[in-house]
């Protein structure tokens, strides 16, 4: 039988994801070796192989069928907007997508002013301001340390992930509006879902049991 390929997000989600697979009896100890440069890890017993990719690339691998399944944050799913099925909320990696800034920026939002919005998530920010709030803003794409933008005067506000809130607090910023709640999700390639229906359904059900 063909191996099922599962794309995992590198970084914060990876260890929780491996814990989850261990819970349903699929171990992959090789992947825990921090010194390894290997990219693909096979568990022959269960006929699955895992690989680690950058978050925004996971939906791409799954859309093209290079991975049958993927585990990725809801933020990335919304931002990438790929043709994939989101089948399960895994319940970890919980955080919020928020509009943040200095408290003084609150009035710009209340009065629908033309402001600059810095973010790593231009599609989510555009959808929120244009479609949900009907506010015309200029979106500026950044690649990290987004909290810097309002501090140094690049933008009035940011759209970014808030988990504990400590990055905001330590930089004198605050949540101004919530865009949506986020967590890790299981995604599936639509063709794999049809072709390997039994195996994929079984895996979804076992993961669902393990997280509930
Ligand atoms: C994320 C996010 C915030 C921070 C929020 O950044 O962009 O900066 O975490 O977490 P907190 O509310 O618990 O402080 P990340 O560490 O992923 O790095 P980045 O700045 O490079 O995006």
Tens-place pLDDT, residues 122-176: 999 999 999 999 999 999 999 999 999 999 999 999 999 999 999 999 999 999 9
Mean pLDDT of 184-188: 98
Which residues surround ligand 1 with Cβ inside 6 Å? 120, 144-147, 160-167
pLDDT value at residue 209: 97
Q: What's the 4 CA to ligand 1 centre distance in angstroms? A: 32
pLDDT value at residue 150: 98
Report pLDDT digits (tens) over 35-68. Answer: 888 889 999 988 999 999 999 999 999 999 999 9
Mutate to test the pocket of ligand 1, among 12, 159, 162 (most ligand atoms within 8 A of CB): 162
Instruction: Give the position, in ligand 1's atom list, of the atom nearest the Cα of 167.
Output: 14
Report pLDDT digits (tens) over 69-97. Answer: 999 999 999 999 999 999 999 999 999 99
pLDDT value at residue 29: 79
pLDDT value at residue 107: 95
DSSP secondary structure letters along 157-200: EEEEEESSSHHHHHTT-EEEEEEEEE-EEEEE-HHHHHHTHHHH
Element housing 108 (H / E) = helix 106-110
Closest protein CA for atom 22 of ligand 1 = 144
116 contacts: CB under 8 Å, gap ≥ 6: 137, 138, 139, 140, 154, 155, 156, 157
Q: How far is CA 163 from CA 15, 97, 147, in A?
A: 17, 9, 13
Residue 177 scores a pLDDT above 90? yes
Mean pLDDT of 18-38: 86
138 contacts 114 by C-beta, under 8 angstroms: yes
């Amino acid at each position: 039988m063909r191996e099922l390929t599962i794309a995992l997000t590198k970084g914060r989600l990876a260890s929780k994801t491996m814990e989850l697979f261990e819970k349903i009896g699929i171990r992959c100890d090789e992947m825990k070796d921090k010194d390894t440069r290997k990219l693909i890890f096979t568990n022959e017993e269960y006929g699955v192989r895992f690989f680690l990719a950058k978050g925004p690339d996971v939906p791409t691998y799954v859309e093209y069928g290079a991975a049958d399944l993927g585990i990725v944050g809801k933020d990335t799913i919304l931002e990438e907007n790929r043709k994939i099925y989101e089948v399960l909320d895994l319940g970890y990696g919980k955080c919020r997508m928020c509009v943040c800034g200095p408290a003084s920026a609150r009035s710009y939002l209340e009065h629908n002013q033309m402001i600059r919005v810095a973010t790593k998530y231009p599609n989510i920010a555009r959808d929120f301001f244009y479609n949900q709030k009907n506010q015309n803003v200029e979106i500026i794409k950044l690649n990290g340390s987004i909290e810097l933008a309002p501090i140094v005067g690049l933008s009035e506000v940011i759209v970014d992930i808030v988990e504990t809130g400590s990055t905001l607090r330590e930089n004198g910023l605050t949540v101004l509006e919530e865009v949506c709640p986020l967590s890790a999700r299981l995604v599936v390639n639509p063709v794999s879902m049809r072709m390997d229906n039994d195996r994929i359904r079984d895996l979804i059900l076992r993961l669902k049991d393990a997280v509930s």
